[in-house]
Copies of this chain bind each other. A is one copy, B any other.
Amino acid sequence: MDSLQFIGQVHSSLKNINDCPLQEFEGAPEASIHINKEYLSAISGLKTGSKIIILTWLHKGNRTTLTTKPRNNPNAKKTGVFATRSPDRPNPIGLHEAEITAITDDGRISVSNLEVLDGTPVIDIKIAL
A interface list, Cβ under 8 A from B: 1-7, 23, 39, 41-46, 50, 52-53, 55, 57, 59, 63, 66-67, 78-85, 89-91, 93, 95, 123-127, 129
- For A82, give its contact among B5, B82, B91, B124 (CB under 8 Å): B124
Are A2 and B59 touching (Cβ within 8 A)? yes
Q: Which B residues touch A93, using CB under 8 A?
A: 55, 93, 123-124
Are A83 and B43 touching (Cβ within 8 A)? yes
Are A67 and B79 touching (Cβ within 8 A)? no
- What number of copies of this chain does the assembly contain? 2
- For A83, give its contact among B46, B66, B67, B81 (CB under 8 Å): B46
Are B84 and A127 touching (Cβ within 8 A)? yes
List 11 extra interface pairs beyond A5-B63, A45-B82, A85-B129, CB under 8 A.
A4-B4, A4-B91, A7-B82, A7-B91, A43-B83, A44-B67, A44-B83, A82-B125, A84-B126, A85-B127, A90-B123
